[in-house]
């Protein structure tokens, strides 16, 4: 499936309930609960794996209590959803089965429904943040989860710490002939190409970041920068803000030699042939990069998304 592109999430985060501990406790008793272990989410056969509060409480008493995070209510019917971050669910004496029934979002995200993907993105993003912020950044004392998992509070100075999301731009670069420029990173598998991306720096606008990143990585200046869409990307804690842009000097494109080691222009026909022959691997279907490429490819009559199936790869 493609990256989510919707103005109204199927999950109402119901933030007004986060300060009501009694309401959250009541919702917990009827919740569908997504278990998470070390960034791995409970999933089987392309669907999320849910626990009941009874099974979580049994596991908590037997192994480890973990932490629970309120994800929200389904807009259709009001079913409550929580995430439960723990260290163990399977038999704790056997390290080999620790992740049995658990997958990373990279592994399972492309197979999830829009509803499950919305839950998974929120659950994994929250879990990653909580996992990496056990101490207060002010005084170094321990922090505890509060307000349904939406903050951590220092046990010493009572300061609140909120989840961090790092903004990054991702850019589909085109030329006047409606070709697109893709680049290869050395950490990717051979023949894997994608769009250009980078984190927004302090004091920088999204558009300024687009221009800087594309020039730094691909050696071309861009104009006619247009916003396309955005996507939560909890790997570990980003949001991707997608743009398209045009360069008037495609002949100057060159890799920086560090982050990008190859760049190549593709027409639609060139891309179709390269994917079919196995000479081009594209980003996975869950990613906004793939959505951008597919959107460009199918915007011209005679080219369909099915032409690009079978040629995709994550990084190792």
Q: Where are the domains of the chain?
A: 11-132, 166-308
pLDDT digits (tens, 9 = 90+) for 3-35: 444 568 999 999 999 999 999 999 999 999 999
User: How far is CA 301 from its chain centroid?
Assistant: 31
Name the fold adopted by 166-308: Nucleoside Triphosphate Pyrophosphohydrolase (3.90.79)
Q: How many CB atoms lie within 10 A of CB 12?
A: 15
Q: Which pLDDT band holds residue 106 (cuts at 50, 70, 90)?
A: confident
The mean-pLDDT minimum among 55-69, 108-122, 145-159, 218-232 falls in 55-69
| Bridge-based pairing state of the strands 262-266 and 180-184 | antiparallel
**What's the pTM?**
0.86
Whole-angstrom Cα distance, residue 219 to residue 259? Answer: 12
Q: Which pLDDT band holds residue 309 (cuts at 50, 70, 90)?
A: confident
Q: Looking at residue 146, what is its pLDDT?
A: 97
Whole-angstrom Cα distance, residue 121 to residue 260? Answer: 28
Whole-angstrom Cα distance, residue 309 to residue 293? Answer: 12
Q: Looking at residue 68, what is its pLDDT?
A: 96
The residue that leads in pLDDT, 169 or 100, is 169
Whole-angstrom Cα distance, residue 46 to residue 42? Answer: 10
pLDDT digits (tens, 9 = 90+) for 257-266: 999 999 999 9
Q: Looking at residue 208, what is its pLDDT?
A: 97
The residue that leads in pLDDT, 67 or 313, is 67
The mean-pLDDT minimum among 90-104, 122-136, 202-216, 272-286 falls in 90-104
The residue that leads in pLDDT, 7 or 182, is 182
User: C-alpha distances in angstroms, 23 versus 15, 16, 111, 166, 230?
Assistant: 12, 10, 33, 31, 32
84 half-sphere exposure, CB direction, 13 A CA radius = 26
**Which residues contact residue 302 at a Cβ distance below 8 angstroms, ignoring those fewer than 6 apart?**
none
For residue 67, what are its two tokens?
């932490």
Contact 195, 289 (CB under 8 A): yes
Q: Is the pLDDT of residue 2 over 70?
A: no
Report the length, in residues, of the chain.
316
The residue that leads in pLDDT, 93 or 109, is 109
The residue that leads in pLDDT, 5 or 116, is 116
11-132 and 166-308 in the same fold: yes
Q: Looking at residue 272, what is its pLDDT?
A: 97
Q: Which pLDDT band holds residue 1 (cuts at 50, 70, 90)?
A: very low
Q: Which pLDDT band holds residue 97 (cuts at 50, 70, 90)?
A: low
Q: Looking at residue 95, what is its pLDDT?
A: 60
pLDDT digits (tens, 9 = 90+) for 202-222: 999 999 999 999 999 999 999
Q: Region of 279 please: left (phi>0), alpha (psi -120 to 50) or beta.
A: alpha
Answer whether CATH 3.90.700 is correct for domain 11-132.
no
Q: What is the mean pLDDT of residues 226-247?
A: 95
Q: Which pLDDT band holds residue 45 (cuts at 50, 70, 90)?
A: confident
74 half-sphere exposure, CB direction, 13 A CA radius = 13
């Amino acid at each position: 499936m493609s990256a989510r592109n919707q103005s109204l999430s199927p999950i109402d985060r119901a933030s007004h309930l986060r300060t009501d501990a009694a309401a959250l406790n009541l919702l917990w008793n009827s919740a569908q609960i997504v278990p998470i272990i070390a960034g791995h989410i409970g999933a089987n056969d392309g669907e999320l794996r849910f626990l009941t509060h009874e099974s979580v409480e049994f596991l908590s008493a037997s192994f480890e209590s973990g932490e629970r995070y309120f994800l929200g209510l389904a807009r259709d019917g009001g079913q409550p959803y929580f995430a439960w971050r723990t260290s163990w669910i399977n038999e704790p004496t056997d390290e080999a089965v620790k992740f049995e029934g658990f997958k990373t979002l990279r592994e399972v995200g492309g197979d999830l429904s829009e509803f499950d993907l919305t839950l998974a993105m929120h659950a994994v993003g929250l879990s990653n943040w909580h996992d990496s912020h056990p101490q207060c950044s002010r005084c170094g004392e321990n922090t505890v989860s509060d307000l349904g998992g939406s903050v951590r509070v220092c046990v010493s100075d009572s300061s609140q710490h909120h989840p961090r999301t790092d903004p990054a731009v991702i850019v589909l670069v085109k030329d006047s002939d409606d070709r697109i420029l893709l680049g290869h990173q050395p950490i990717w598998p051979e023949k894997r190409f994608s769009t250009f991306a980078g984190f927004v720096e302090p004091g920088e606008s999204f558009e300024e970041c687009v221009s800087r990143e594309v020039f730094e990585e691909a050696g071309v200046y861009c104009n006619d920068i247009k916003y396309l869409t955005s996507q939560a990307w909890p790997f570990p804690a980003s949001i991707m803000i997608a743009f398209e842009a045009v360069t008037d000097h495609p002949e100057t494109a060159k890799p920086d030699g560090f982050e990008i080691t190859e760049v190549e222009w593709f027409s639609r026909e060139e891309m179709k042939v390269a994917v079919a022959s196995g000479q081009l691997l594209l980003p996975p279907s869950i990613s906004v990069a793939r959505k951008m490429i597919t959107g460009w490819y199918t915007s011209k009559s005679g080219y369909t998304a099915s032409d690009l199936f079978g040629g995709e790869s994550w990084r190792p």
